[in-house]
């Protein structure tokens, strides 16, 4: 995508993201990133009918050149660093959208999450379930609590459910970037609760 001509950049990025989503499968053959990283249509036309792209190829070029200079490999950037950076961006997005109703759908202020997790005091080998998990902040904080208390963030099992598609995708990416084995189901918790299906 970096080396593609400006008129092909969006198309190349769209194909690359979809190929990555298709290639990453779990032990059962389920594509774990499908619908998670490819919810954005990078090649989508601008809605004004101008024939240009919704996201400018120039912006994509600048973004790629900026990120290309940063080593984000596993050896250089731990899951904590990547996960915390992602959560920071989620918070910034939520802060900028406080005037509307969108932010509350996926982001609970960190202070509230901290208080609730400290009150719950997650114990080893329990299941933590958030029926309206948004971007997954409660689940991540529960894992961080276990890391601080038991020196292992994976001593608990994490489950969540989220109805809004993009928010479900954000939660899944959040879990991946924090190196957590969480299962976030997509669907309406009241009309179609999936927690019963996840118990094992």
Q: Grade residue 200 by pLDDT with cuts at 50, 70 and 90.
A: very low
Which spans in 46-161 are helix H? 57-68, 79-96, 103-106, 110-120, 137-150
pTM here?
0.71
Residue 127's pLDDT is what?
Answer: 93
Among 116, 106, 10, residue whose Cα is nearest residue 55: 10
Same domain flag for 82 and 137: yes
Same domain flag for 58 and 87: no
Q: What's the number of domains the chain is made of?
A: 2
Q: Grade residue 147 by pLDDT with cuts at 50, 70 and 90.
A: very high
Average pLDDT on 33-52 reads: 85
Same domain flag for 118 and 35: no
What is the overall mean pLDDT for the chain? 85
Same domain flag for 96 and 126: yes
Average pLDDT on 101-114 reads: 71
- pLDDT digits over 148-193, tens only? 999 998 899 999 999 988 889 889 998 988 889 899 999 999 998 9
Say if CB 122 and CB 146 are below 8 A apart: yes
99 has pLDDT over 80: no
Residue 75's pLDDT is what?
Answer: 79
Say if CB 163 and CB 189 are below 8 A apart: yes
Same domain flag for 125 and 193: yes
Same domain flag for 117 and 155: yes
Same domain flag for 78 and 34: no
Domain stop point among 70, 88, 107: 70
Same domain flag for 63 and 109: no
Residue 110's pLDDT is what?
Answer: 81
Same domain flag for 125 and 82: yes
SS3 157: strand
Domain span holding position 169:
72-200
């Amino acid at each position: 995508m970096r080396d593609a001509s400006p008129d092909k950049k969006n198309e190349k990025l769209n194909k690359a993201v979809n190929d990555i989503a298709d290639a990453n499968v779990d032990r059962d053959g389920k594509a774990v990133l499908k619908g998670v990283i490819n919810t954005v249509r990078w090649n989508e036309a601008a809605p004004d009918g101008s024939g240009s792209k919704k996201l400018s190829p120039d912006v994509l070029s600048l973004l790629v050149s900026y990120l290309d200079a940063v080593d984000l490999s596993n050896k250089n950037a731990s899951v904590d660093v990547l996960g915390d950076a992602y959560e920071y961006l989620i918070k910034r997005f939520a802060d900028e959208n406080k005037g509307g109703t969108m932010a509350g759908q996926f982001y609970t202020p960190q202070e509230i999450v901290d208080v609730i997790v400290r009150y719950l005091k997650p114990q080893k080998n329990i299941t933590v379930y958030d029926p309206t998990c948004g971007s997954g902040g409660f689940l991540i904080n529960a894992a961080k609590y276990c890391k601080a208390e038991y020196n292992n963030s994976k001593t608990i099992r994490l489950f969540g459910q989220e109805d809004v598609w993009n928010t479900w995708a954000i939660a899944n990416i959040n879990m991946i970037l924090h190196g957590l084995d969480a299962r976030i189901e997509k669907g309406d918790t009241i009309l179609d609760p999936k927690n019963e299906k996840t118990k094992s």
